[in-house]
Each structure stands twice: as C-alpha cells, then as structure tokens.
C-alpha cells in the first residue's frame, strides 16, 4: 500500500534541506527524527489517499489491484494505520524542536487533504507540489529551529513546480477515467496535448528556480553540475512522452524523477561539504 519508490521523490530533498541548514552533516539525532517524521507523514498521506479514493480505485482498471479494492486490507485496518502514522509524525516533530511541532499540523493537514482536491479543483497538481515542497523547508527548520534564509524557500519552490509538472504527466494516463467520473485534473480540463505543454512550463519554472537556488546558495561547480544534469533529465523526461504515445510514461515518471532528487542531493550536498 505504501509505495517505497514514491518516497525517493521527497526524502532526498528533506536530506538536502537538512544538509544546507547544518552547513554539513546534521546530528544523528536530527537525522533520525527527520526520517521518522518523513516516514510517518508519507505513510499517513498514502494510506488516507487509499481510503479516500477506494471507490474510484475500484472502478479504474489501473488502480483496481490496490490493497482496499482488491480486498487485501480492510478499511478499518487502513484507518488505524493512518492514525498511527499521523501520531508518529507528530511525535517526531515534537522531538525535533518547538517550531517543527507548531507547524506540524499544517503539514499533516496538507498531505491528508490533498487526496480530496481532485473532487473540486484542477489545481490538485499544485497542491501535491505544495505537500512535497514542505519536506526541505521542514528539514531546515528541524535543524535550525527557524527559517533565517531564503535558501529553503527557494528549494521548496523548485520541489513544488517540479512535482506539479510530473503529476500533470502522471494524470494523463487517467484522462478518460477522470472525465467520465467528474474528477478534476489539468489533462481532464485541457486535454492531453495541452497538459503536456503545461507540464513543460511547470518544469521550465522549476529549472529557473533551481538556477536561482544555485546563485543564492553560492555552492560552486559541483552544484552547477547538478543543475545542468537536472535540466538534461527534465528534457529527457519530456522526450519520452507524446500526446499520441504514453507507453513510456512510467519510465518518465518513476525512473527520471527518482534520479532528479538524488542528483540534486549528491551534487548540492557534496558542494556543501567541500565548502
């Protein structure tokens, strides 16, 4: 029920936010509770999504094998798992510092309420982007106990636009189902061809924000390599998908996006240590 590969999208950004905040390696205690918080929040979000979407999942051939519609797990068990995961997240936030605990309900509400947004707005992709963008700034606050810099906010902007862009791509495969069931998405509203251009625009914005981050952070050649590699991967991702051929969508979505987050962690993180 909890897709580990999806965690690769957000967890490296949380680690990068922590490394940038610490100017090196955070303490072992901070790393531990950041990981626990990420696991708790991500598990609560995905489990609640399975509860909220169970009737739609049962109708959609792509999702009918998920745990609840397939009868592998009961709704009551998934509710218990969701509540436990949410409490685990709140406990981890309390173990980090006062500000993380104060802001934790905002983060938790965001990741839970996202699952309902497709029922009333086509901007659900941006809401998902907001949810994942919490990770780097949250980790920064976990280390420092304050904002104190534009760096984490710019990094969060990169994550927001990047996530929204690839979620628009991902939603293209549910174009017909979303329209039939009255669910809102950019592909359902504008069609697949225009949705691909919107996704490209969001990723262009993410790349510009990444250049901004590089200039503000001032991390030198290694970070610049990460910027260039990310730009190349984004271009490659969009070459894999065409309006009349979505057969390589999973390669564009899972493989490419996992590489983006890891490349930025390694390049920017290494640049921090060298500095």
Name the pLDDT band for 6 (thresholds 50, 70, 90).
low
pLDDT of amino acid 239: 85
Contact present, 185 and 174 (Cβ < 8 Å): yes
Tell me the average pLDDT across 203-209: 98
- Average model confidence (pLDDT) for the chain? 92
Name the pLDDT band for 249 (thresholds 50, 70, 90).
confident
Tell me the average pLDDT across 150-173: 94
Flag whether pLDDT at 132 surpasses 80.
Answer: yes
- Which residues is 245 bridged to in the sheet? 242
pLDDT of amino acid 175: 87
Distance from C-alpha of 129 to C-alpha of 124, rounded to nearest angstrom? 9
* Chain centre distance of CA 212: 20
Nearest CA among 56, 74, 75, 73 for reference residue 64 = 56
Flag whether pLDDT at 5 surpasses 70.
Answer: no
Name the pLDDT band for 188 (thresholds 50, 70, 90).
very high
Tell me the helix, strand and coil percentages in the chain, rounded to 5. 80, 0, 20
**Beta carbons within 8 Å of 55's beta carbon, 6+ residues apart:** none
Distance from C-alpha of 237 to C-alpha of 175, rounded to nearest angstrom? 19
Tell me the average pLDDT across 251-269: 84
Q: What is residue 245's three-state secondary structure?
A: strand
* CATH code assigned at 71: 1.10.357.140
Tell me the average pLDDT across 188-213: 96
Distance from C-alpha of 165 to C-alpha of 275, rounded to nearest angstrom? 32
pLDDT of amino acid 170: 86
pLDDT of amino acid 252: 65
Domain count, the chain: 1
In our burial notation (b when 16+ CB lie closer than 10 A, e otherwise), range 62-80 reads: ebeebbbbeeeeeeeebee
Flag whether pLDDT at 51 surpasses 90.
Answer: yes
Q: What is residue 242's three-state secondary structure?
A: strand
Name the pLDDT band for 253 (thresholds 50, 70, 90).
low
Q: What range defines the domain where residue 224 resides?
A: 4-274
pLDDT of amino acid 72: 93
Share of the chain above pLDDT 90, in %: 74
- Which residues is 242 bridged to in the sheet? 245
The larger pLDDT score, comparing residue 177 to residue 201, is at 201
Distance from C-alpha of 250 to C-alpha of 256, rounded to nearest angstrom? 9
């Amino acid at each position: 029920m909890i897709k580990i590969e999806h965690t690769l999208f957000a967890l490296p950004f949380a680690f990068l936010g922590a490394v940038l905040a610490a100017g090196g390696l955070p303490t072992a205690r901070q790393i531990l509770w950041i990981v626990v918080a990420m696991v708790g929040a991500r598990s609560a979000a995905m489990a609640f999504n399975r509860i909220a979407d169970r009737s739609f999942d049962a109708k959609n051939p792509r999702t009918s094998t998920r745990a609840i519609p397939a009868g592998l797990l009961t709704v009551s068990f998934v509710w218990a798992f969701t509540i436990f995961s949410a409490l685990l997240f709140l406990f981890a936030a309390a173990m980090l510092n006062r500000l993380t605990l104060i802001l934790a309900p905002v983060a938790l509400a965001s990741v839970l309420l996202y699952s309902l947004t497709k029922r009333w707005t086509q901007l659900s992709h941006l809401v998902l982007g907001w949810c994942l963008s919490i990770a780097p700034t949250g980790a920064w606050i976990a280390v420092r106990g304050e904002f104190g810099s534009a760096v984490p906010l710019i990094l969060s902007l990169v994550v927001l636009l990047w996530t929204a862009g690839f979620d628009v791509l991902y939603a293209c495969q549910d174009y017909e189902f979303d329209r039939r069931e009255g669910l809102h998405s950019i592909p359902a509203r504008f069609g697949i061809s225009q949705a691909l251009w919107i996704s490209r625009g969001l990723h262009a914005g993410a790349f510009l924000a990444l250049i901004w981050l590089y200039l503000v952070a001032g991390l030198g050649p290694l970070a610049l390599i990460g910027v260039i590699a990310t730009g190349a991967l984004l271009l490659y991702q969009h070459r894999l998908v065409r309006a009349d051929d979505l057969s390589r969508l999973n390669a564009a979505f899972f493989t490419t996006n996992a590489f983006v987050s890891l490349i930025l962690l390694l390049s920017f993180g290494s640049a921090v240590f060298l500095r």
